[in-house]
Chains A and B, each alone.
Chain A
Amino acid sequence: MLVTKNITKKFPGVIALENVNLKIDAGKVTAIIGENGAGKSTLMKILSGVYPDYEGEIIFKDQPVNFAGTADAQKAGIAIIHQELNLIPYLTITENIFLGRELGNAFGILDKKAMHAKAKTLLDTLHVDVNPDTLVADLKVGQQQMVEIAKALLLDADLIIMDEPTSAITEAEVETLFKVIEKLRSENKAIVYISHKLNELFKIADNYVVLRDGKTIETGLMQSMTHDELIKKMVGRAIVPMQKELADANAKELLRIENICLKQKNKASKLHNISFNVNGGEIVGVFGLMGAGRTELLETIFGVHPAASSGSVTVNNKNITIKKPADAIRAGIVLLPEDRKKDGLVLGMEVKKNISLPCLHEVEKMGLLNDKKESTLAKKHIQQLGIKTPSENQVTKNLSGGNQQKIVLAKWLERNPKVLLLDEPTRGIDVNAKNEMYKLMQELAGKGMAIVMVSSELTEILTVSNRIIVMAEGKITAIIPAGEATEDNVLKAAISIN
Chain B
Amino acid sequence: MKITIDHLTKDFGSTIAVNDFSAVIESGELIALLGPSGCGKSTMLNMISGILPSSTGKIYFDEDDVTDVAPEKRGVGLVFQNYALYPHMTVLENIAFPLEIKKVKKEEREAKAKEMAKLVHVDMLLDRKPKQLSGGQQQRVAIARALIKNPRVLLLDEPLSNLDARLRIEMREEIRRIQQETQVTTIFVTHDQEEAMSISDHIVLMKDGFLQQVARPQELYDEPANCFVADFLGNPPINKTYGVVQNGAIVLDGGCVVELDAAKNLKEGHKVILSMRAESIVVDEGMKNAEGTVVETYVMGKEVLAYVSLGDYKVRAYIPAEKSFGKEQKVTVGLKKRGVFVFDAETGERLA
A and B are interacting partners: no
